Amino acid sequence: MVFNTRFALAEEYDLCQSQVDEYQNNVNGHILLRNVIPESEIAELRTSVLRTHEALKHEEEDFQKAFRITQNLWEINDTVRAHVLSKRYAGIAAKLLGCRDVRIYHDLTFFKEGLGKGKPTPWHQDGHYWPLDTEGCITLWVPLIDCPVDMGPMSFVSGSHLNKNAEHLPISDESDEYIRNLVEKENLSVAPAQHMNAGDATFHSCWTYHAAASNTTDRTRIAFAVAYYDADAKVPVQPPNNERRAANLARWFPGAVPGGPAATEKNPAVLCPHD
Ligand SMILES: O=C(O)CCC(=O)C(=O)O
């Protein structure tokens, strides 16, 4: 397996303690960081993501017209692999989670069509889908072209990662309505979407409520995401309690056993790769 050998991707991201505190310490459960992808690397990653998405077109899924996804591009493209397995991004994820190392759950494209064809992403909690026994789950989401607010970068509900109120709901109109009602009834704090330049990234917990507006620009929103988790996580002893967790367990943790480490060949540890 080729691990990252590119200097810019090995360079540590300068994350300050106040940013870690903003994410941790029961405050936000999400953070926007600038220039996470080194500028010198963005164009090649974008080309590779587009090309690999095309190669995986037969597997493409369209979520309620909100976005089109393909998954685990890192397994078939060397450039994508260098990014997904980069210590730079994994180092941020581990610091935000407060763990010694992270493993790869999977990566995915999030393409939202322009001219309003890419509908709003419904409010949801990713935790509905994650088949792990840890709260240490985090997603890096990065646009690979500049992403103004009218292209649909993400909004988050600050502090919502401290509950699992929408755990029972997959992403849908129902999850959207359910979370909107909670926000209104409980007067929750919504962090509105912000302009992101290509290479800026958001990180959010799998329990943070998040959504995105429709893309009204004339360009497709080309975004890419990597989902990481605490490298010491296990597969729950109890069988998955919904069909999406069951499918994800089988697909992303092949051969893993209940109560055993969540560490198959599809889940390399990034910071200490020989674990
Ligand atoms: O890209 C989007 O609109 C949604 C992304 C998302 O739900 C996620 O990264 O968990």
Ramachandran region of residue 83, left (φ > 0), alpha (ψ -120 to 50) or beta?
alpha
For residue 274, pLDDT over 80 is answered with no
Cβ atoms of 135 and 203 closer than 8 Å: no
Work out the average pLDDT over 165-192. 97
The tens digit of pLDDT for each residue in 133-162 reads 999 999 999 999 999 999 999 999 999 999
4 lines ligand 1 (CB under 6 A): no
Question: For residue 236, how many other CB atoms are within 10 A of its CB?
Answer: 17
Q: What is the DSSP pairing of strand 102-112 with strand 221-230? A: antiparallel
Cβ neighbors of 205 (< 8 A, separation 6 or more) are: 29, 30, 135, 137, 138, 161
| Minimum-distance ligand 1 atom for the alpha carbon of 212 | 3
What's the whole-number average pLDDT of the chain? Answer: 95
Taking the C-alpha atoms of residue 151 and residue 221, their distance in angstroms, rounded to an integer, is 6
For residue 6, pLDDT over 90 is answered with no
Please give the helix or strand (H or E) that residue 41 lies within, else none.
Answer: helix 39-55
The tens digit of pLDDT for each residue in 102-123 reads 999 999 999 999 999 999 999 9
Cβ atoms of 45 and 80 closer than 8 Å: yes
CA dihedral sign of residues 211, 212, 213, 215: negative
pTM: 0.96
Domains contained in the chain, CATH given = 28-252 (2.60.120.620)
* Of 32, 49, 67, 248, best ligand 1 pocket probe by most atoms within 8 Å of the beta carbon: 67
Taking the C-alpha atoms of residue 75 and residue 54, their distance in angstroms, rounded to an integer, is 14
Q: Residue whose CA is closest, atom 9 of ligand 1?
A: 141
Closest of 220, 231, 1 to residue 112, by C-alpha: 220
